[in-house]
Chain A
Amino acid sequence: MVNVGIFGATGMTVVPVATDENGNIDVADLEAKAVQHADDLAALMVTYPSTHGVFEESIEQVCQIIHDHGGQVYLDGANMNAQVGLSRPGDYGADVCHLNLHKTFCIPHGGGGPGVGPICAAAHLVPHLPDLQPDVEADSGMVSAAPWGSTSILPISYAYIAMMGPDGLLEASRLSILNANYMAARLDPHFPVLYRGANGRVAHECIIDVRDYKDVADAEDIAKRLIDYGFHAPTMSWPVAGTLMIEPTESESLAEIDRFCDALISIREEIRAIQNGDADAEDNVLKNAPHTAMAVTSDEWSHPYSRQQAAYPAPWSVATKFWPTVGRVDNAFGDRNLQCACPPMSAYA
Chain B
Amino acid sequence: MDFAQRHNGPDAVETDKMLTTVGVSSLGDLIDQTVPEAIRFDGELDLPTALDEVEVLSDLRELAESNVVMRSMIGQGYYDTLTPTVILRNILEDPGWYTAYTPYQAEIAQGRMQALLNFQTMVADLTGTELSNASLLDEATAAAEAMTMARRLKGRSSTASTFVASDACHPQTLAVLATRAEPLGINLVIGSIDDASFDEDTFGVLVQYPDTRGVVSDHAALAQRAHDAGALVVAATDLLACTMLTPPGEWGADIVVGSSQRFGVPLGAGGPHAAFLATATANARNLPGRLISVSKDPAGNPALRMALQTREQHIRRDSATSNICTAQVLLAVIASMYGVYHGPEGITAIGERVHGHARAFGEAAVASGYTLEGETFFDTVTLVAGDGLDQLVAKALGAGFNLRAHGDGAVGIAFDETTTADDLHALTKALFGREPTGPTNDTLGSFRRSSQFMTHPVFNSYRSETEMLRYITALRNKDLSLTHSMIALGSCTMKLNATTEMIPITWEGFGRIHPFAPADQQSGYAELVDRLERWLAEITGFAGTSLQPNAGSQGEYAGLLTIAAYHRANGQGQRNVCIIPTSAHGTNPASAVMAGMTVVPVATDENGNIDVADLEAKAVQHADDLAALMVTYPSTHGVFEESIEQVCQIIHDHGGQVYLDGANMNAQVGLSRPGDYGADVCHLNLHKTFCIPHGGGGPGVGPICAAAHLVPHLPDLQPDVEADSGMVSAAPWGSTSILPISYAYIAMMGPDGLLEASRLSILNANYMAARLDPHFPVLYRGANGRVAHECIIDVRDYKDVADAEDIAKRLIDYGFHAPTMSWPVAGTLMIEPTESESLAEIDRFCDALISIREEIRAIQNGDADAEDNVLKNAPHTAMAVTSDEWSHPYSRQQAAYPAPWSVATKFWPTVGRVDNAFGDRNLQCACPPMSAYA
Contact = CB atoms under 8 A, between A and B. Distances in A.
* Interface size range on A against B: 20 to 34
Contacts of A251: 464, 466
Interface stretch (A77-85, A236-244, A295-303, A326-334): A295-303
Max chain B C-beta neighbours (<10 A), residue from A297, A299, A320? A297
A319 B930 CA distance: 14
B883 A293 contact: no
A190 interface: no
A308 interface: yes
A68 interface: no
Contact of A297 (B464, B466, B882): B882
Interface string A310-332: 11100000111101000000000
B881 interface: yes
B897 A308 contact: no
A321 B478 CA distance: 11
A306 B891 CA distance: 16
Interface string B144-173: 000000000000000000000000000000
A321 B466 contact: no
A33 interface: no
A75 B895 CA distance: 58
Nearest to A315: B934
Contacts of A318: 879
Interface string A241-254: 00000000001110
B315 interface: no
Contacts of A198: none
Contacts of B906: 293
A312 B464 contact: no
A297 B884 contact: no
Nearest to B463: A253
B467 A298 contact: no
A299 B878 contact: no
B464 A253 contact: yes
B893 A297 contact: yes
A81 to B, nearest CB: 15
Contact of A299 (B464, B466, B882, B891): B891
Nearest to B893: A299
B882 A307 contact: yes
B883 A308 contact: yes
Contacts of A308: 882-884
A307 B883 contact: yes
A294 interface: yes
B903 interface: yes
A297 B881 contact: yes
B322 to A, nearest CB: 35
A296 B893 contact: no
Max chain A C-beta neighbours (<10 A), residue from B882, B897, B903, B908? B882
Contacts of B858: none
Contacts of A321: 878
Given A299-B892, A306-B884, A293 B464 contact: no
Contacts of B467: 253, 255-256
B928 to A, nearest CB: 15
Given A293-B878, A321-B878, A298 B884 contact: no
A297 B896 contact: yes
A296 B903 CA distance: 14
B394 interface: no
Contact of B466 (A252, A293, A296): A252
B474 interface: yes
A211 B461 CA distance: 37
A215 B760 CA distance: 63
A318 B467 CA distance: 17
B471 to A, nearest CB: 11
A299 B893 CA distance: 6
Contacts of B896: 293, 297
Interface string B865-890: 00000000000001101111000000
Given A319-B474, A320-B474, A296 B464 contact: no
Contact of B893 (A252, A255, A298, A311): A298
A308 B884 CA distance: 6
A294 B903 contact: yes
A293 to B, nearest CB: 6
A312 B879 contact: yes
Contacts of A312: 879, 882
Interface in B485-506: none
B812 to A, nearest CB: 15
B881 to A, nearest CB: 5
A297 B892 contact: yes
Contacts of B883: 307-308
A312 B893 CA distance: 18
Contacts of B881: 297
A53 B878 CA distance: 40
B153 to A, nearest CB: 40
Given A253-B464, A306-B884, A312-B879, A297 B474 contact: no
Contacts of A310: 882
A293 B881 CA distance: 9
Contacts of A306: 884
Contacts of A293: 878, 882, 896, 906, 908
A283 B896 CA distance: 25
A307 B880 CA distance: 11
Interface string A207-224: 000000000000000000
Contacts of B466: 251-253, 256
Interface in A272-309: 293-294, 296-299, 306-308
Nearest to B477: A322
A311 B903 CA distance: 18
A296 B882 contact: yes
Contacts of A299: 891-893
A256 B470 CA distance: 11
Interface in B517-532: none
Contacts of B891: 299
Nearest to B892: A297
A293 B897 CA distance: 10
A310 B878 CA distance: 13
Interface in B451-488: 461, 464, 466-467, 474
A240 B112 CA distance: 45
A323 B467 CA distance: 20
Contact of B897 (A255, A297, A320, A323): A297
Contacts of B878: 293, 297, 311, 321, 323
A76 to B, nearest CB: 27
B714 to A, nearest CB: 48
Nearest to A299: B891
B738 to A, nearest CB: 29
A303 to B, nearest CB: 12
A318 B878 CA distance: 10
Nearest to B880: A297
A256 B474 CA distance: 14
Given A297-B892, A297-B893, A297-B897, A311 B882 contact: yes
A311 B891 CA distance: 18
Interface string A127-158: 00000000000000000000000000000000
A255 B484 CA distance: 31
A132 B891 CA distance: 66
Contacts of B474: 319-320
Contacts of B893: 297-299
Contact of A307 (B884, B895, B903, B908): B884
Nearest to B891: A299
9 contacts: A251-B464, A252-B466, A253-B466, A256-B466, A293-B878, A297-B881, A297-B897, A298-B892, A319-B474
Rank and list the top 10 A-B pairs by shortest CB-CB distance, nearest first: A297-B892, A307-B882, A299-B891, A306-B884, A296-B882, A297-B881, A251-B466, A311-B882, A297-B896, A308-B884
Given A297-B897, A307-B883, A308-B882, 16 more contacts: A255-B461, A255-B467, A256-B466, A293-B906, A294-B897, A296-B882, A297-B896, A298-B893, A299-B892, A307-B882, A307-B884, A308-B883, A308-B884, A312-B882, A319-B474, A323-B878
